[in-house]
Amino acid sequence: MPTQPLPDFSSSVRLKYVKLGYQYLVNHFLTLLLIPMIATCVLELVRRGPEELISMYNSLELDVIHILCSSFVIIFILTVYFMSRPRPVYLVDYACFKPSASCRVPFATFMEHTSMICEDPKSVQFQTRILERSGLGEETCLPPANHYIPPNPTMEAARAEAQLVIFSAIDDLIKKTGLQPKHIDLLVVNCSLFSPTPSLSAMIVNKYKLRSNIKSFNLSGMGCSAGLLSIDLARDLLQVHPGSNALVISTEIITPNFYKGNRRDMLLPNCLFRMGAAAILLSNRRRDATRAKYRLLHVVRTHKGADDRAYRCVYQEEDSDGHCGISLSKDLMAIAGDALKSNITTIGPLVLPMSEQLLFFFTLVGRRLINPNLRPYIPDFKQAFEHFCIHAGGRAVIDELQKSLQLSAEHVEASRMTLHRFGNTSSSSLWYELNYIESKGRMKRGDRVWQIGFGSGFKCNSAVWKCLRTVKTPVDGPWAECIHRYPVDIPEIVKL
Amino acid sequence: MEVLTTLTIVILLYSLYLLYKSYKLKCSTNCYLVDYVCFKPSPDRQITTRKCGEIIERNKNLGLAEYKFLLKVIVNSGIGERTYGPRNIIEGREESPTLDDAIEEMDEFLNVCVHDLFVKTKISPRDVDVLVVNISTFCPAPSLASRIVHQYNMREDVKTYNLSSMGCSATLVAIDVVQNIFKSGKKSLAVVITSESISPNWYSGNDKSMMLGNCLFRCGGSAMLLTNDPAMQARAKMRLKCLVRTHIGANDDAFNSAVQKEDDMGRVGVHLSKDLPKAAMRAFTENLKRLLPKILPYRQIALIVFHVVKQKLVQPDAKLNKVVAQINFKSGVDHFCLHTGGTAVIDAVRRALRLSEYDVEPARMTLHRWGNTSASSIWYVLGYMEAKKRLKKKERVLMISFGSGFKCNSCLWEVIRDLGDGDVWEDCIKDYPPKTLVNPYLDKYGWVNEETEETFNREERSESFKNSPW
């Protein structure tokens, strides 16, 4: 894929910051007014000295009724205030699907199958070149139906894959958290390219015998960023249902989506997409606060669909022979960068420390008033986050984001290693990356994680989590048996 | 002294301000239906009985047994002469639908219906904060929600959700999503789009349990505008009072009552099992158990409790049928919007709730005029009531829908002002109810019942169809 330079973080960003500042000032006007008043009062009190204060208190002649009434009023106000605040959303735990070794697709297998299925030798050559530069390893997995020559994408096989990946992930989650299926209140499932009737959410209700008053939602067609969309929906639901928990399933079913034609822009998904699933348990119960791993701080969603190029950049269509596939346009990197820029301008003020925001603001002012040639300041997101989980969409995506956010190799290691070990598992890749960081023993209490997902539409979604307790190794999960071998050095080109 | 007083007054005033803010937030948690628009496809997409016959005839996999079965289904379906189908099926390409066919069908709906909604409500697409789309059996990438964002140039921070494969009850799931987002208090505008994709889902085999879908489903859709802004209350049509969702997927029979799968020849279709009516009634009963305490007046509830306790004391082992017979379901509801799944569904609900013909007339007429448009059917039923000027201020409308899984969702709306907008029923409301709902297919294809396997000759019959006067 051609590498295009990402656009500058300047012109449209400045207006947004000014607007945000103005909004903040006006929205919190009364609160901000309170600060000088309280300051004056405190100073006055300090000036008066303790003896004078005690004599003042005695002169008030407060009796029991007065004290009781005022305490009651204060407690009432405080209760109303705390109850109107948004409920915290905790991530109790999560589990990722670990594919068995029998599903592995080493390079040799992939190339052999491709050369037997593909009639056009040029397509075979193209896919070889893509695989060489993809950053994938030898242990990525495809579902059983894709191991047939040619692949056998029946509905039954697709359902079998869905049952395998989803049920394994949920079983692991139940073992880890002691979750009782009857206690699940909300269920959100996202799977982009496979939506049978009844839905995958109904399939889960049936398998685990969930309650009849469960609120289930099945999202589809929303691309690789749909995992964070589901988290957003679960968060909104948890605000309305007190004392509840939500099970979120993120997956992508590969079986029905094998592309049989020869168009190059549609052959890429065949090379990159692999089997995976994640099951996440969210809760807003206070008692889960002690055992939860993370707390959700922010979710920011950006939709660039209004722009033609962005809308068409990941597009499902039929080629001239009638084969259905997903075409990835050459503009993908540029559009991803643009979407990220928009997302950052919203998330920046929420997460960046005051120092970075002030620096950005002053550089902006400086450029406008003093010297237009001053270099625009790109906020240092490493100050706001300790860990980064960038969707493992492909090597180029990770490279570009590393460059634009000025991240070190260690920051993007989780993304690169996930791409190497599991391939592009679509919406669940962010959870495999988080599991990598935990397995390496790097997740400490108080650390903040930034998950960034990109997807068709074109969407860029971010979630910010805060770690509530240090995660001890060894961590049970898909990385358990191989974490000691990582990180590996991934060459630019693997000669096949 | 003055300092202390000032401090107390300041804190008190700020606390009152916080209380006021909390109160305002609480006021913004209502869900108002500002307006809705149903889709009327173009006249060249109408499927008459004759057209139905031609389409079925084209399927070389069908024999006499299947013809008889289809005749029985179509005659009993309650579907009339003016329902609409997708272009690829009308033009003879039902066996090989392409992605473009499905997208074209969706585009026709989105271009007309969504546009009409914005024009009618005078809202700009850029003011929309939430977009929820539910189209069950078709989900391309990018999603149809993204397609709408693209077409109407919506904002970057619009919250989109694309629900899929949630069956004929999905429209209420979409309303549930919107309702939950509204409860956060922030004033928002939400657009809900509901439809079904028929083009890619024609079943070309001969498994009887899978052919029902071909006969019953028709093209339709609706777009709704909802808000939680109290300032828009005056122009809104209805307010949501409660919404109850029931999912009995834990029961294997219910879960397998409607399953999309391949038949013995590898053709994909939706298998509807014989357990479907039983599953529907079970889901409906579960739903009513949770719905009735929320919608019945207190007097009714007290009466029911009294009868239950009385029966338990007198005859502890007897069933509660007599008590159920005492419940007046119409005491808390004035109008019933039933999902038009078929005549059987409407009759079953009518019997269960002891409704009159007047109560189920909107559902029957919708089934006759539009067919089973899946999730959007309840909006056509609502449109009928409005066109007949039945909806008056303070009256309550109950929507009930069923879907694969098996789900039963229901919600209660309160009418805010007298309604009388005809919308898609405008041109034909005066013809309803018609004198007869008997299907003309019965006369035209009655020959099937007289034929036997020995006398049935396919080519000869096919020729005689082509030469027949109708």
Q: What integer is the mean pLDDT of A276-295? A: 95
* A interface test, pick of B25, B101, B166 with most A CB neighbours within 10 Å: B166
Average pLDDT, chain A: 89
Q: What integer is the mean pLDDT of B371-383? A: 95
B27 CB neighbours in chain A (<8 A) are none
Q: How far is CA A362 from CA A51, A355, A377, in A?
A: 47, 10, 9
B121 CA: distance to closest CA in chain A (Å): 21
Name the burial class of residue A69, with classes exposed (0-12), middle (13-18) and buried (19+) by CB atoms within 10 angstroms of its CB: exposed
- Partner residue opposite B180 with nearest CB, options A240, A304, A456: A240
Asked if B15 has any chain A CB less than 8 Å from its own CB, the reply is yes
Phi, psi of B61 (to 5 degrees): -80, -10
Which residue matches tokens 């790109």?
A: A378
pLDDT digits (tens, 9 = 90+) for A425-448: 999 999 999 999 999 999 999 999
A128 CA: distance to closest CA in chain B (Å): 26
Is residue A5's pLDDT more than 50? no
**pLDDT value, residue A469:** 94
B6 CB neighbours in chain A (<8 A) are 41
B266 CA: distance to closest CA in chain A (Å): 8
Is residue B143's pLDDT more than 90? yes
In the stretch 287-346 of chain B, residues with CB closer than 8 A to chain A read: 290
- Partner residue opposite A197 with nearest CB, options B165, B173, B176: B165
- Partner residue opposite A222 with nearest CB, options B158, B162, B407: B162
Q: Are A196 and B260 in contact (CB under 8 A)?
A: yes
Contact A318 B184 (CB under 8 A): no
A444 CA: distance to closest CA in chain B (Å): 32
Most distant CA atoms of chain B, gap in Å: 110
Contact A220 B143 (CB under 8 A): yes
- Partner residue opposite B139 with nearest CB, options A155, A220, A302: A220
Helix A395-404 vs helix A413-422: angle between axes, to the nearest 10 degrees? 180
Which residue matches tokens 């009618």?
A: B120
Q: Are B35 and B237 in contact (CB under 8 A)?
A: yes
Instruction: Give the chain B residue nearest A305 (alpha carbons).
Output: B150
Is residue B274's pLDDT more than 80? yes
Residue A350 C-alpha from the chain's centroid: 16
Query: What is the rounded CA–CA span in Å between residue B358 and residue B355?
Result: 8
**pLDDT value, residue A13:** 58
**pLDDT value, residue B441:** 61
Query: What is the rounded CA–CA span in Å between residue B314 and residue A190?
Result: 52
Ranking A39-48, A384-393, B231-240, B245-254 by mean pLDDT, the lowest is A39-48
A205 CB neighbours in chain B (<8 A) are 247, 249-250, 255, 405
- β-pairing verdict for B32-38 and B46-47: unpaired
Contact B248 A212 (CB under 8 A): yes
Is residue B139's pLDDT more than 80? yes
Instruction: Give the chain B residue nearest A85 (alpha carbons).
Output: B22
B410 CA: distance to closest CA in chain A (Å): 12
A458 CB neighbours in chain B (<8 A) are 142
- Partner residue opposite B405 with nearest CB, options A45, A202, A324: A202
Contact B98 A322 (CB under 8 A): yes
Contact A316 B140 (CB under 8 A): yes
Asked if B30 has any chain A CB less than 8 Å from its own CB, the reply is no
Contact B176 A155 (CB under 8 A): no
- B465 pLDDT band, cuts 50/70/90, is very low
Query: What is the rounded CA–CA span in Å between residue B383 and residue B366?
Result: 9
Report ipTM for this prediction: 0.90
pLDDT digits (tens, 9 = 90+) for B97-118: 899 999 999 999 999 999 999 9
- Partner residue opposite B180 with nearest CB, options A48, A237, A322: A237
Q: Which residues of A are catalytic?
A: 224, 303, 387, 391, 420, 424
- Partner residue opposite A302 with nearest CB, options B15, B98, B157: B157
Contact B184 A239 (CB under 8 A): yes
B463 CA: distance to closest CA in chain A (Å): 33
A302 CB neighbours in chain B (<8 A) are 156-157
Query: What is the rounded CA–CA span in Å between residue A110 and residue B415?
Result: 61
Contact A205 B1 (CB under 8 A): no
- A11 pLDDT band, cuts 50/70/90, is low
B414 CA: distance to closest CA in chain A (Å): 22
Contact A209 B250 (CB under 8 A): yes
Q: What integer is the mean pLDDT of B355-376? A: 94
pLDDT digits (tens, 9 = 90+) for B288-305: 999 999 999 888 888 888
pLDDT digits (tens, 9 = 90+) for A85-120: 788 999 999 999 999 999 999 999 999 999 998 888
**pLDDT value, residue B443:** 63
Angle value at C-alpha B121, between B118 and B127, nearest 5 degrees: 60
Contact B3 A308 (CB under 8 A): no
pLDDT digits (tens, 9 = 90+) for B43-62: 999 988 778 878 877 888 88
Is residue B468's pLDDT more than 50? no
User: Letter for the amino acid at B297?
Assistant: P
Peptide bond into B118 cis (omega under 30): no
Contact B141 A314 (CB under 8 A): yes
Query: What is the rounded CA–CA span in Å between residue A192 and residue A219?
Result: 7
SS3 category, B157:
coil
Q: List, in sequence order, every residue forming a beta bridge with B227; answer none if it has no partner.
A: B32, B189
Contact B146 A311 (CB under 8 A): yes
Q: List, in sequence order, every residue forming a beta bridge with A250; answer none if it has no partner.
A: A190, A278
Contact A306 B10 (CB under 8 A): no
Residue B453: how many CB atoms within 10 A of its CB? 8
**pLDDT value, residue A57:** 74
In the stretch 91-150 of chain B, residues with CB closer than 8 A to chain A read: 98-100, 136-137, 139-147, 149-150
Instruction: Give the chain A residue nearest B176 (alpha carbons).
Output: A215
Is residue A276's pLDDT more than 90? yes
Q: What integer is the mean pLDDT of B187-194? A: 96
Determine what percent of chain A is predicted with pLDDT higher than 70.
Answer: 95
R_g of chain B computed on alpha carbons: 25
**pLDDT value, residue B466:** 45
**pLDDT value, residue A87:** 87
- Partner residue opposite B139 with nearest CB, options A195, A211, A212: A195
For residues B447 and A66, the model is more confident at A66
Q: How far is CA A112 from CA A123, A131, A148, in A?
A: 13, 13, 12
B11 CA: distance to closest CA in chain A (Å): 9
Determine what percent of chain B is predicted with pLDDT higher than 90.
Answer: 54
B290 CB neighbours in chain A (<8 A) are 213
Is residue B11's pLDDT more than 60? yes
A77 CB neighbours in chain B (<8 A) are 15, 18-19
- Partner residue opposite A198 with nearest CB, options B14, B162, B405: B405
A-B C-beta contacts closer than 8 Å: 224
Contact A155 B260 (CB under 8 A): yes
**pLDDT value, residue A1:** 42
Rama region for A180: left / alpha / beta (φ>0; ψ in -120 to 50; rest): beta
Asked if B246 has any chain A CB less than 8 Å from its own CB, the reply is yes
Which pTM value belongs to this model? 0.90
Q: Which residues of B are catalytic?
A: 168, 247, 335, 339, 368, 372
